[in-house]
Amino acid sequence: MPTLEEVEIQAAPFNLPEGMINYLPSVLEDGEVIEQVAMGYYKESGFSHISGHLMVTDRRFIYSLYVKPGTSYTDYFYFSELKSITVRTSKNLADYRDVILIDVADQKFVIERILTIGNHDFFTHIEPLLDSSN
């Protein structure tokens, strides 16, 4: 588990909220490097959209919502466990994109409404990971 100081250095370019930075040492693995971060929304079945951060590290996608100490939601996908990674235009929102991850067990995870403006580096970074058919 990285130290808070190590996480602060990694998170500095991404303007993450302080609560998220304090939470990340429990999420990141030793030596794991945050490469890009974007804001997006996840819709839990029957619930409204949950705003959070979609991070790309050197080994996985991490979607994390930090609310307050003791209240957080984190899901992650190792690149080696993903069968498909695609990006589509968000429904009725031309300046937004959705990232769709499908794992080897065919479970689908969609992060919706990632604003393309201000997140160009995020989409450029994940482009080599995308399915070649898209």
Number of domains composing the chain: 1
In a domain, 53, yes or no: yes
In a domain, 134, yes or no: no
Q: Which CATH number goes with the domain that contains 102?
A: 2.30.29.30
In a domain, 47, yes or no: yes
Q: Say how far residue 127 (Cα) sits from the centre of its chain.
A: 14
Least confident interval from 23-32, 47-56, 71-80: 47-56
Once rounded to an integer, what is the mean pLDDT over residues 20-32? 92
* Dist. CA 121–CA 117, nearest whole Å: 10
In a domain, 33, yes or no: yes
- Tell me the per-residue pLDDT of 89-116, one tens digit each, with 9 for 90 and over: 988 788 888 899 999 999 998 888 888 7
The parent domain of residue 57 ranges over: 4-129
Pairing of strands 49-57, 60-68: antiparallel
Residue 50 has a pLDDT of 65
Regarding predicted confidence, which is higher, 23 or 32? 32
Residue 68 has a pLDDT of 62
- Tell me the per-residue pLDDT of 77-89, one tens digit each, with 9 for 90 and over: 999 999 999 999 9
pLDDT band at 48 (very low <50, low <70, confident <90, very high): low
